[in-house]
Amino acid sequence: MNEIKNSLTEYAEAFTSGESEVLRELREYCFAHYKNSSMLSGFYQGRLLSMLSHMIQPRKVLEIGTYLGYSTICLAEGLAEGGEVISLDINEETNHVAQSFIDKTEFRDRIQLRLGDAIFMLPHVAGPYDLVFIDADKQNYSNYYNLVLDKVRPGGFIVADNVLWSGRVLEEEKDEDTQALHEYNQMVLTDDRVESLLLPIRDGLMVVRKLL
Protein backbone atom coordinates (compact mmCIF):
# COMPACT_ATOMS: atom_id res chain seq x y z
CA MET A 1 0.00 0.00 0.00
CA ASN A 2 2.80 2.40 0.93
CA GLU A 3 4.54 1.72 -2.35
CA ILE A 4 1.37 2.54 -4.27
CA LYS A 5 0.93 5.65 -2.16
CA ASN A 6 4.50 6.76 -2.82
CA SER A 7 4.22 6.27 -6.57
CA LEU A 8 0.98 8.20 -6.61
CA THR A 9 2.57 10.98 -4.55
CA GLU A 10 5.40 11.11 -7.08
CA TYR A 11 2.87 11.20 -9.90
CA ALA A 12 0.96 14.04 -8.20
CA GLU A 13 4.21 15.99 -7.75
CA ALA A 14 5.24 15.35 -11.34
CA PHE A 15 1.97 16.84 -12.56
CA THR A 16 2.23 19.94 -10.36
CA SER A 17 3.78 23.17 -11.62
CA GLY A 18 7.27 23.99 -10.38
CA GLU A 19 8.18 26.39 -7.60
CA SER A 20 10.26 29.56 -8.06
CA GLU A 21 14.05 29.46 -8.19
CA VAL A 22 14.32 31.13 -4.74
CA LEU A 23 12.04 28.52 -3.18
CA ARG A 24 14.09 25.70 -4.70
CA GLU A 25 17.29 27.29 -3.37
CA LEU A 26 15.70 27.69 0.07
CA ARG A 27 14.64 24.05 0.18
CA GLU A 28 18.12 22.92 -0.82
CA TYR A 29 19.71 25.25 1.74
CA CYS A 30 17.45 23.82 4.44
CA PHE A 31 18.28 20.19 3.62
CA ALA A 32 22.01 20.98 3.55
CA HIS A 33 22.15 22.98 6.80
CA TYR A 34 19.32 21.92 9.13
CA LYS A 35 18.81 18.62 10.91
CA ASN A 36 15.10 19.29 11.38
CA SER A 37 14.54 20.06 7.72
CA SER A 38 11.24 18.15 7.78
CA MET A 39 9.72 21.18 9.54
CA LEU A 40 9.80 23.01 6.24
CA SER A 41 6.68 22.79 4.08
CA GLY A 42 7.89 20.66 1.19
CA PHE A 43 7.48 21.30 -2.51
CA TYR A 44 3.96 19.87 -2.81
CA GLN A 45 2.50 21.48 0.32
CA GLY A 46 4.12 24.75 -0.71
CA ARG A 47 2.35 24.59 -4.06
CA LEU A 48 -0.93 23.88 -2.24
CA LEU A 49 -0.45 26.91 0.05
CA SER A 50 0.33 29.05 -2.99
CA MET A 51 -2.75 27.78 -4.83
CA LEU A 52 -4.99 28.40 -1.78
CA SER A 53 -3.58 31.90 -1.51
CA HIS A 54 -4.28 32.55 -5.19
CA MET A 55 -7.85 31.30 -4.69
CA ILE A 56 -8.44 33.51 -1.65
CA GLN A 57 -6.48 36.53 -2.94
CA PRO A 58 -5.94 37.70 0.65
CA ARG A 59 -5.26 41.26 1.70
CA LYS A 60 -3.85 40.10 4.99
CA VAL A 61 -2.23 36.75 5.79
CA LEU A 62 -1.04 35.88 9.28
CA GLU A 63 1.44 33.05 9.68
CA ILE A 64 2.38 31.61 13.07
CA GLY A 65 5.71 29.78 12.64
CA THR A 66 7.99 31.20 9.92
CA TYR A 67 10.97 28.84 10.22
CA LEU A 68 13.01 29.56 7.05
CA GLY A 69 10.22 31.43 5.29
CA TYR A 70 9.36 28.73 2.75
CA SER A 71 5.63 28.69 3.50
CA THR A 72 5.73 32.47 4.02
CA ILE A 73 6.85 33.07 0.44
CA CYS A 74 4.33 30.51 -0.90
CA LEU A 75 1.51 32.29 0.96
CA ALA A 76 2.64 35.67 -0.42
CA GLU A 77 2.31 34.45 -4.02
CA GLY A 78 -1.47 34.91 -4.13
CA LEU A 79 -1.74 38.24 -2.27
CA ALA A 80 -4.21 40.78 -3.56
CA GLU A 81 -2.86 44.11 -4.79
CA GLY A 82 -1.57 45.95 -1.72
CA GLY A 83 -1.86 42.83 0.47
CA GLU A 84 0.68 41.68 3.06
CA VAL A 85 1.88 38.65 5.01
CA ILE A 86 2.80 39.00 8.69
CA SER A 87 4.74 36.02 10.00
CA LEU A 88 5.68 35.34 13.62
CA ASP A 89 8.52 33.21 14.98
CA ILE A 90 10.50 32.98 18.19
CA ASN A 91 13.82 31.82 16.69
CA GLU A 92 16.25 34.62 15.85
CA GLU A 93 18.68 32.46 13.88
CA THR A 94 16.13 30.95 11.47
CA ASN A 95 14.40 34.33 11.21
CA HIS A 96 17.61 35.81 9.89
CA VAL A 97 17.87 33.13 7.18
CA ALA A 98 14.18 33.60 6.32
CA GLN A 99 14.68 37.34 5.87
CA SER A 100 17.69 36.81 3.60
CA PHE A 101 15.66 34.58 1.25
CA ILE A 102 12.57 36.82 1.38
CA ASP A 103 14.81 39.72 0.35
CA LYS A 104 15.55 37.87 -2.89
CA THR A 105 11.85 37.75 -3.86
CA GLU A 106 9.47 40.26 -5.37
CA PHE A 107 7.46 40.03 -2.11
CA ARG A 108 10.13 41.61 0.12
CA ASP A 109 8.04 44.74 0.75
CA ARG A 110 4.89 42.75 1.42
CA ILE A 111 6.24 40.29 4.00
CA GLN A 112 6.82 41.39 7.58
CA LEU A 113 8.63 39.04 9.94
CA ARG A 114 8.10 39.61 13.66
CA LEU A 115 10.36 37.99 16.23
CA GLY A 116 9.03 36.80 19.59
CA ASP A 117 6.65 34.41 21.31
CA ALA A 118 3.47 34.29 19.21
CA ILE A 119 1.26 33.96 22.29
CA PHE A 120 2.37 37.41 23.43
CA MET A 121 2.58 39.02 20.00
CA LEU A 122 -0.81 37.93 18.66
CA PRO A 123 -2.92 40.41 20.66
CA HIS A 124 -0.86 43.19 19.02
CA VAL A 125 -1.24 42.04 15.41
CA ALA A 126 -4.17 43.90 13.87
CA GLY A 127 -6.77 42.12 11.73
CA PRO A 128 -8.82 41.51 9.80
CA TYR A 129 -7.09 38.42 8.44
CA ASP A 130 -8.28 36.70 5.28
CA LEU A 131 -6.03 33.69 5.87
CA VAL A 132 -4.18 32.41 8.93
CA PHE A 133 -1.60 29.60 8.78
CA ILE A 134 -0.93 27.97 12.17
CA ASP A 135 2.34 26.01 12.14
CA ALA A 136 4.28 26.73 15.38
CA ASP A 137 4.46 24.77 18.68
CA LYS A 138 1.73 22.15 18.60
CA GLN A 139 0.63 22.54 22.23
CA ASN A 140 -0.49 26.10 21.56
CA TYR A 141 -2.59 25.41 18.44
CA SER A 142 -5.87 25.84 20.37
CA ASN A 143 -4.58 29.01 22.04
CA TYR A 144 -3.54 30.43 18.67
CA TYR A 145 -6.95 29.61 17.21
CA ASN A 146 -8.76 31.29 20.09
CA LEU A 147 -6.51 34.34 19.86
CA VAL A 148 -7.03 34.84 16.12
CA LEU A 149 -10.61 33.76 15.35
CA ASP A 150 -12.23 37.09 16.28
CA LYS A 151 -9.84 38.84 13.91
CA VAL A 152 -10.53 36.53 10.95
CA ARG A 153 -13.01 38.17 8.59
CA PRO A 154 -16.32 36.37 8.02
CA GLY A 155 -15.62 33.93 5.19
CA GLY A 156 -11.90 33.93 6.03
CA PHE A 157 -9.77 30.82 6.57
CA ILE A 158 -7.53 29.26 9.22
CA VAL A 159 -5.25 26.46 8.01
CA ALA A 160 -3.36 24.41 10.60
CA ASP A 161 -0.48 22.11 9.62
CA ASN A 162 0.61 18.70 10.98
CA VAL A 163 -2.80 17.82 12.41
CA LEU A 164 -2.28 14.10 11.68
CA TRP A 165 1.16 14.16 13.38
CA SER A 166 2.55 11.26 11.28
CA GLY A 167 -0.56 9.25 12.16
CA ARG A 168 0.03 9.47 15.92
CA VAL A 169 -3.43 11.06 16.44
CA LEU A 170 -4.79 7.51 16.03
CA GLU A 171 -2.75 6.10 18.92
CA GLU A 172 -4.51 5.13 22.12
CA GLU A 173 -1.71 6.54 24.33
CA LYS A 174 -1.05 10.06 23.08
CA ASP A 175 1.95 12.17 24.11
CA GLU A 176 1.38 15.86 24.85
CA ASP A 177 1.83 17.16 21.31
CA THR A 178 -0.37 14.42 19.86
CA GLN A 179 -3.08 15.05 22.46
CA ALA A 180 -2.96 18.81 21.77
CA LEU A 181 -3.38 18.26 18.03
CA HIS A 182 -6.22 15.78 18.56
CA GLU A 183 -7.95 18.28 20.85
CA TYR A 184 -7.45 20.99 18.26
CA ASN A 185 -9.16 18.85 15.61
CA GLN A 186 -12.03 18.13 17.97
CA MET A 187 -12.37 21.76 19.01
CA VAL A 188 -12.68 23.14 15.49
CA LEU A 189 -15.08 20.39 14.40
CA THR A 190 -17.48 21.25 17.23
CA ASP A 191 -17.10 25.04 16.93
CA ASP A 192 -20.29 26.21 15.23
CA ARG A 193 -18.68 29.48 14.15
CA VAL A 194 -16.66 27.58 11.52
CA GLU A 195 -16.84 24.81 8.94
CA SER A 196 -13.90 22.41 8.89
CA LEU A 197 -12.19 20.13 6.38
CA LEU A 198 -9.27 17.88 7.29
CA LEU A 199 -7.12 17.34 4.22
CA PRO A 200 -4.92 14.22 4.59
CA ILE A 201 -2.16 15.84 2.55
CA ARG A 202 1.43 15.27 3.76
CA ASP A 203 1.13 15.53 7.59
CA GLY A 204 -2.51 16.70 7.53
CA LEU A 205 -3.91 20.18 7.04
CA MET A 206 -7.00 21.30 8.94
CA VAL A 207 -8.78 23.94 6.87
CA VAL A 208 -11.38 26.01 8.64
CA ARG A 209 -13.71 28.59 7.11
CA LYS A 210 -15.26 31.18 9.39
CA LEU A 211 -18.96 31.39 8.76
CA LEU A 212 -20.62 34.66 7.83
Binding site for ligand SAH (CB under 6 A): 39-41, 65-67, 70-71, 88-91, 94, 117-119, 135-137
**Partner from Ca ion, ligand SAH, none contacting 185, C-beta within 5 to 8 A by type:** none
Q: How far is the CB of 123 from Ca ion (least distance, A)?
A: 23
63 sits near Ca ion (criterion: CB under 5 A): no
Least distance in angstroms from the C-beta of 162 to ligand SAH? 9
What is the sign, positive or negative, of the torsion defined by CA atoms of 136, 137, 139, 140?
A: negative
Query: Which CB sits closer to ligand SAH, 7 or 20?
Result: 20
- Beta carbon of residue 66, minimum distance to ligand SAH (angstroms, whole number): 6
Provide, rounded to whole angstroms, the least separation between the CB of residue 39 and Ca ion: 6
Which of 19, 63, 130, 135 touches Ca ion by CB under 5 A? 135
Tell the smallest beta-carbon distance from residue 172 to ligand SAH (Å).
27
Query: DSSP secondary structure string, 155-183?
Result: EEEEEEE-TTGGGGGG-SS--HHHHHHHH
For Ca ion, which residue of 27, 160, 161, 180 counts as binding (CB under 5 A)? Answer: 161
Task: Give CA 179 to chain center in angstroms.
Answer: 20
Q: Enumerate the H helices of 57-175 as residue ranges.
A: 70-76, 92-102, 118-121, 141-148
* Buried-exposed string 27-63: b where 16+ CB fall within 10 A, e elsewhere: bebbeeeeeeeebbbbbebbbbbbebbeebebbbbbb
Could you tell me if residue 165 is left (phi over 0), alpha (psi between -120 and 50 degrees) or otherwise beta? left
Near Ca ion by CB under 5 A, which window of 23-31, 86-94, 128-136, 175-183?
Answer: 128-136
Amino acid in position 198 = L
Chain positions contacting Ca ion, by CB under 5 A: 135, 161-162
